[in-house]
Amino acid sequence: MLGVARSALGRPWRERLGATGQNRALAIAQIHGHSDLLARVLAGRGVAPQDAELYLDPQLRRLMPDPYTLRGMEEAAERLAAAIAAGATIAVFGDYDVDGAASAALLDEFLSAAGTPHLVRIPDRIFEGYGPNAKAIGELAAGGANLLVCVDCGTTSHGPLAEARKLGLDAIVLDHHQAPEALPEAIVVNPNRQDDLSGLGQLCAAGVAFMTLVAVNRLLRARGFWSAARPEPDLLLGLDLVALATIADVAPLTGLNRAFVVKGLALMRARERPGLRSLFDVAGADGPPNPYHLGFLIGPRINAGGRIGDAALGAKLLAMRDEIEARRIAEHLDRLNRERQVVEAAILQAATAQADDTRAAIVVAGENWHQGVVGLVAARLKEKFRKPAFAIAFDGAVGTGSGRSIAGIDLGKVVRRGVEAGLLAKGGGHAMAAGITLAREQLDAFRSFLETSVAEQVAAARAEDSLFVDAMLSASGANLALYAALERAGPFGAGNPEPVFAFPAHRLIDVMPVGEGHMRWRAEAGDGAGLEGIVFRAVGAPLGEALRAARGSAVHLAGSLSLDRWNGREKIRLRLLDLASAEPRRSGA
């Protein structure tokens, strides 16, 4: 596209739509009367003409299957409903990330509405690690629990759940991580277990928990459990938590997930949940809630508790109804998040210096690195080198690490093979993220195993690493009306990528560093219309250096539109993804 075979980031630019896609876009525009640009965006995301209206208005009642479609759901719902009806004490054990916190909060709210005595336990990342552990299970049993519900964890917890059985606790697992063939002693509801045929593997744990509560609520209603004194809760009011978890866990925004997020964002606009409202306020989120807010402002603050503070704060805040206490916890999480940023920056500097870009995957390790931020460091390395990356924190002979992947490489499966091969003491995850525990003497062997496992896939992914462009625009066409029209195809994120537009031959008028390592730029089209934006963490990075070098010259710009709100005014900016020279090539020496 535009003759760009190698951009500033070394990528060719290609049109997202081939001939078949262009025909699909034409049919969408003609049948439904949508603009050509919106039709191209829909067609570029695989939307068929007959599905266009449902895509623009995803309806939960049409997209959500019967919960019993999930393997093990009927047994899990029956056991949970029986415990609720009997007034038994139920223990909820959740992961320490956003998905775990949201899942635990969903169950907390439902059990509170049912008047069911219950305990919520979120493990300490540093001292307890991921998933249920024998000590915690013993404490929950001592607290009177006789049913354990693990959310966003438990699929590989054979030992701890066997211990639960010995102590008289039945166990239910509501999870979504990659599952081995042999499952623990529990009722496991996980769309990614190997014998599940539901086709719902894209759900996060909160989505699984929501479907479980739908099934449980249906049983309780049929048995006359709800009454005027104990009114049936409106489960749809929990979709804000499902939306938050779906975005934060980078689950694909397709099908049922997209319906969850659309409905959940609509709920958030009403600002009815004290915990979320307080988080939005302390984070300084402007305008209506959107995926950016959830992924980059709200999610990190909830995670901060699990990373460097009290892991239970996130789940507690999300289920809280006390306005004053919610504000206090939100402000505390905001402070923890700032501390986390300082810790992360120091480790990232050391990790980047250590990274070997000649390998297909990046594996870095450090002594006494903070375990709570290694996943974030891995994500930064993945972004910088465009390769799968692991960051591992060693404390003596044992290391705990996190990995992040690129499209096309299922890291969860690779890690499961590493566990089966005896290279990892523990490990699990999903396609884009995974966690591991390994002995120090296995570090080099793990590096070699990872290299062998992903080298071909990484080479293929990088060879196909093109920037796919939805359409070409000029600065004057990037206006508020266009942005509003495109928003109908959102929310955008994993599985439903933001539209990317190319702006041909715009002259870079100004490029200047701002803040801590960011770069502001402004360009103009031939008619004088302007376009501007800020590239974050650009100073010293390839895109930032390309901007600096091209100042004053004509360039092709590529990026996604964003809406900037300031002092009550709205303005379109371009979130720059890439650029290429538009200057004519000179011949001769």
CA–CA distance, 303 with 343 (Å, rounded to integer)? 14
Contact 288, 269 (CB under 8 A): yes
Percent of the chain past pLDDT 90, that is, above it, reads 89
Instruction: Select from 88, 87, 92 the least CA-distant residue to 103.
Output: 92
CA–CA distance, 391 with 374 (Å, rounded to integer)? 5
**Averaged pLDDT, 93-103:** 96
Task: Label each residue of 290-331 as H, E or C.
Answer: CHHHHHHHHHHHHHHHHHHCCCCHHHHHHHCCCHHHHHHHHH
Pairing relationship of beta strands 398-404 and 501-514 according to DSSP bridges: unpaired
Contact 544, 563 (CB under 8 A): no
CA 263, chain centre distance (Å) = 17
- Within 13 Å of residue 59, how many CA atoms lie on the same side as its CB? 6
DSSP SS3 for 406 = coil
CA–CA distance, 465 with 32 (Å, rounded to integer)? 33
**Averaged pLDDT, 350-360:** 95
Amino acid 482: pLDDT? 95
CA–CA distance, 424 with 105 (Å, rounded to integer)? 32
Instruction: Select from 2, 55, 49 the least CA-distant residue to 22.
Output: 49
Amino acid 368: pLDDT? 87
Amino acid 540: pLDDT? 85
**Averaged pLDDT, 410-414:** 93
Spell out the domains of the chain, with CATH numbers in brackets.
63-332 (3.90.1640.30), 355-463 (3.10.310.30), 467-589 (2.40.50.140)
Say if residue 588's pLDDT is above 90.
no
**Averaged pLDDT, 450-473:** 91
Q: Please give the model's pTM, rounded to 2 decimal places.
A: 0.91
Cis geometry, peptide bond prior to residue 491 (ω within 30 degrees of 0) = yes
**Averaged pLDDT, 57-78:** 96
CA 265, chain centre distance (Å) = 15
**Averaged pLDDT, 145-169:** 96
Amino acid 103: pLDDT? 98
Band of the pLDDT at 585, cuts 50, 70, 90? low
CA–CA distance, 317 with 414 (Å, rounded to integer)? 35
User: CA 303, 305, 308, 312 torsion: positive or negative?
Assistant: negative
Amino acid 465: pLDDT? 84
Amino acid 587: pLDDT? 47
Pairing relationship of beta strands 187-189 and 170-174 according to DSSP bridges: parallel
Residue 10's Cβ-count burial label (10 Å; 0-12, 13-18, 19+) is exposed
Amino acid 407: pLDDT? 85
